[in-house]
Amino acid sequence: MNKAQLVEAIADKMGGRQQAADAVDHVLDAIVRAVVAGERVSVTGFGSFEKVDRPARYARNPQTGERVRVKKTAVPRFRAGQGFKDLVSGSKKLPRGGEVAVKKAPKGSLTGGVSATVKKAAAKKTAAKKTAAAAKKTTAKKTTAAAKKTTAKKAPTKKTTAAAKKTTAKSTAAKKTAAKKAPAKKATAKKAPAKKTAARKTTAKKTTNARS
């Protein structure tokens, strides 16, 4: 059976020859692309396709018998599943009628690709959030450092202002002290005439006593 015959065999089940041809092409394309990428394509009950690396080795030319060095290469490999082997060996009989010979995939297994895609998308979003958070932290640190430097530069001005305030306070206190001391001197000056008057009275008394 070739590809055209395969398409004809499933045309009735796919709703037409064109739909069957597209289905076969897409299935084969998906398998080839996955194997080339190094992935293993496994179909339950049918088999698995995978890429196998072969190291460099020596082989013999079957025509001449000459020993030839074969370079390292990679080849595709198909391994038949146990269900497929049992059907070929005859230990199991093919189902009759329109039943499918290959067992259907277990429930939930067909959603593996979707869940994997969702997980990858979630991982990308998480990585993007972490990167944004790290960028915000870096920006905040830089801003804080710049603010500290600016504050440090402004500090001398505050000290100078404080010193000026202290000097002004001292000057004001000195003026107040001087103002308080000034009245005391005036009071002393006013009291001086009182002493002179007392001296005059004493002299007058002495003169009167002398005359008498």
Digit-by-digit pLDDT tens for the chain (212 residues) are 999 999 999 999 899 999 999 999 999 999 999 999 999 999 998 999 999 999 999 999 999 999 999 999 999 999 999 999 999 999 988 887 667 777 665 555 554 443 444 444 455 556 666 766 666 676 666 666 666 665 555 544 445 455 556 666 666 666 666 556 544 444 444 444 545 544 465 555 555 555 54
Spatial distance between the Cα atoms of 35 and 44, rounded to a whole number of angstroms? 17
Specify the residue for token string 């897409």.
Answer: 26
Spatial distance between the Cα atoms of 80 and 143, rounded to a whole number of angstroms? 65
What are the domain boundaries of the chain? 3-104
If phi > 0 it is left, if psi is from -120 to 50 it is alpha, else beta; for residue 97 that is left
Is the pTM of the predicted complex or chain greater than 0.75? no
What pLDDT is stored for residue 203 in this prediction? 54
Q: How many CB atoms lie within 10 A of CB 58?
A: 8
Specify the CATH architecture of the domain 3-104. Answer: Irregular (4.10)
Q: Which long-range contacts (CB under 8 A, 24 or more apart) does 197-205 make?
A: none
SS3 1: coil
Helix, strand, coil percentages, rounded to 5, for the chain: 65, 15, 20
Let me know: does 7 contact 28? Beta carbons within 8 Å.
no
Token pair recorded at residue 49: 């396709």
Let me know: does 62 contact 54? Beta carbons within 8 Å.
no
Longest dimension (CA), the chain: 182
SS (H, E, C) 2-67: CHHHHHHHHHHHHCCHHHHHHHHHHHHHHHHHHHHCCCCEEECCCEEEEEEEECCEEEECCCCCCE
Token pair recorded at residue 66: 């000459």
